[in-house]
């Protein structure tokens, strides 16, 4: 048996001398580690979900004129793009591009004849939009838009309720054209949807691109959303799109995802502070357990010193004891966190709706190998250093003082 294994065996035997104290220390270290891993896993899951949601909403890349991102429009589509069909075909030749979706953003009034209200419209390519995004809307009534339907719209749940509209009803859209004149078209309600955000559902309206262009009397679009095969391809694809379309601005989903950035900054601070507090508590518990063990064994330490054991060897043994307590608790905590995370995958648990949302979401805890490795390593090192620090004075007491300790 190597010398290192012998010292580790001594440390293991010493931790078993007071089983109750060691068990309590292990339990607290395990619960602390599990709490850190669960909090970190929840934060990572939230980041991943928000990132996917942002990319799914706008596209991994958003392409438009620079003014579209930096200036307000005095007239609808003042900074819009023309000739977008040829751009779309050129971008679709890229191996990482799955789809390129046009979008026309506009606002105006919608009326049922008796009542008018403000609406925020989005002109989309319905078939491509629903094919690439999947069920990104919850259809409450009717059906989703399809290409070639003509003047048909989908209404947000709140907007439909305000107008008392249902599938099949006829409504009128009124908006300013790109020339500043007013234009109106009659449309039929195809379906009613919910985005999960109540305020958005009060104004949201979807219509196909050609109908939106007819309302605004233009052939322009607001932007092109580029959907890639994976998030990891975003940066490289952005560089290629810049080279392909130098006259336009290419932004990533992250540039557009203000909500994602705000939540990430908030969670980083909250869970970072929480992790530090829990780590300090665990280290204090391990240090306290080791301090009590060292005080009880001061005369034993003096005897070992008298027999020729060096202070460094004693400090090493005591540090290894702390490492075993902290590390053992960390491993148990990791197993507890892993088990709970897997349990949530088998037995779904729904969280209540966040502020501003009308529906909840499933609670999941991400199992991130890097997070687990870093947490376990940090607990091992901190417990080792804390125990070595606690033991440093006692192992260097004069032999006579240590033997006389009571």
What share of the chain has pLDDT > 70, as a percent?
Answer: 94
Residue range 35-47: mean pLDDT, rounded = 90
Residue range 195-202: mean pLDDT, rounded = 85
Nearest to 167 by CA among 187, 196, 148: 187
**What is the reported pLDDT for 1?**
53
**What is the reported pLDDT for 312?**
80
DSSP H or E run through 370: helix 369-391
The answer to whether 171 touches 163, Cβ cutoff 8 Å, is: yes
Q: Give the number of other Cβ atoms within 10 Å of residue 122's Cβ.
A: 17
The answer to whether 367 touches 273, Cβ cutoff 8 Å, is: no
> Which residues, 6 or more positions from 312, have their beta carbon under 8 angstroms from its beta carbon?
395
DSSP structure string for 224-288: EEEEES-GGGHHHHHHHHHHH-TTSEEEEHHHH-HHHHHHHHHHHHHHHHHHHHHHHHHHHHHHH
Quick one: tokens of 64? 């438009």
109: β partners: 118, 174
Backbone angles phi, psi at 65, to 5 degrees: -65, 150
pLDDT at 329 over 90: no
**What is the reported pLDDT for 197?**
81
Q: Give the number of other Cβ atoms within 10 Å of residue 151's Cβ.
A: 18
Cα three-residue angle 365-370-376, rounded to 5 degrees: 90
**What is the reported pLDDT for 128?**
87
| CA trace torsion 224, 230, 232, 235 (10° rounding) | -20
Handedness of CA 347, 352, 358, 362 (dihedral sign): negative
Quick one: tokens of 314? 């004693």
Confidence label for 306 from pLDDT (cuts 50, 70 and 90): confident
**What is the reported pLDDT for 239?**
94
The answer to whether 245 touches 65, Cβ cutoff 8 Å, is: no
Higher pLDDT, 92 or 356: 92
**What is the reported pLDDT for 336?**
94
Measure CA of the first residue to CA of the last residue in the chain; give whole Å. Answer: 36
**What is the reported pLDDT for 106?**
93
**141-to-144, 171, 192 alpha-carbon distances in Å:** 9, 16, 5
Beta-strand pair 116-124/204-208: parallel
**What is the reported pLDDT for 381?**
87
pTM above 0.85, yes or no: no
DSSP structure string for 1-45: --HHHHHHHHHHHHHTTTHHHHHHHHHHHHHHHHHHHHHHHHHHH
The rounded mean pLDDT for the chain is 86
Q: How far apart are CA 316 and CA 264, in angstroms?
A: 41
pLDDT at 308 over 70: yes
Q: pLDDT digits over 204-237, tens only? A: 999 999 999 999 999 999 999 999 998 999 999 9
Residue with tokens 């009803």, as numbered in its chain: 169
Q: pLDDT digits over 153-193, tens only? A: 999 999 999 999 999 999 999 999 988 889 999 999 999 99
């Amino acid at each position: 048996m190597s010398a290192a294994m012998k010292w580790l065996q001594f440390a293991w035997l010493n931790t078993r001398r007071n089983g109750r104290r060691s068990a309590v220390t292990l339990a607290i270290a395990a619960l602390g580690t599990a709490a850190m891993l669960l909090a970190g896993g929840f934060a990572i899951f939230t980041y991943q979900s928000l990132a996917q949601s942002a990319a799914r909403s706008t596209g991994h890349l958003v392409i438009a004129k620079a003014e579209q991102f930096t200036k307000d429009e005095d007239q609808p589509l003042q900074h819009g793009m023309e000739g977008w069909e040829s751009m779309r075909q050129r971008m679709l030749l890229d191996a990482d591009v799955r789809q390129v979706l046009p979008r026309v953003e506009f606002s105006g009034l919608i009326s049922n004849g008796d009542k008018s209200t403000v609406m925020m419209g989005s002109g989309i390519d319905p078939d491509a939009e629903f094919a690439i995004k999947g069920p990104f809307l919850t259809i409450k009534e009717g059906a989703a838009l399809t290409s070639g339907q003509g003047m048909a719209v989908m209404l947000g749940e709140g907007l439909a309720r305000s107008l008392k509209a249902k599938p099949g009803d006829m409504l009128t859209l009124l908006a300013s054209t790109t020339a500043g004149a007013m234009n109106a078209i009659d449309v039929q309600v195809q379906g009613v949807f919910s985005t999960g955000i109540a305020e958005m559902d009060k104004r949201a309206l979807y219509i196909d691109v050609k109908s939106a262009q007819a309302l605004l009397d233009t052939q322009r679009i607001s932007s092109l959303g580029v959907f890639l095969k994976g998030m990891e391809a975003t940066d490289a694809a952005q560089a290629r799109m810049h080279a392909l379309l130098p006259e336009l601005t290419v932004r990533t989903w992250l540039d557009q995802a203000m909500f994602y950035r705000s939540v990430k900054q908030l969670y980083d601070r909250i869970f970072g502070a929480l992790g530090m507090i829990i780590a300090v508590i665990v280290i204090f518990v391990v240090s306290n357990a080791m301090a009590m063990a060292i005080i009880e064994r001061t005369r034993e330490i003096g005897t070992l010193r008298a027999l020729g054991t060096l202070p460094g060897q004693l400090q090493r043994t005591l540090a290894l004891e702390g490492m075993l307590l902290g590390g053992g608790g960390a491993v148990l905590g990791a197993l507890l966190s892993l088990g709970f995370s897997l349990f949530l995958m088998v037995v779904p648990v729904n969280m209540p709706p966040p502020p501003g949302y009308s529906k909840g979401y499933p609670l999941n805890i991400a199992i991130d190998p890097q997070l687990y490795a870093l947490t376990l390593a940090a607990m091992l090192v901190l417990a080792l250093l804390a125990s070595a620090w606690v033991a440093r004075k006692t192992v260097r007491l004069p032999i006579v003082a240590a033997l006389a300790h009571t």
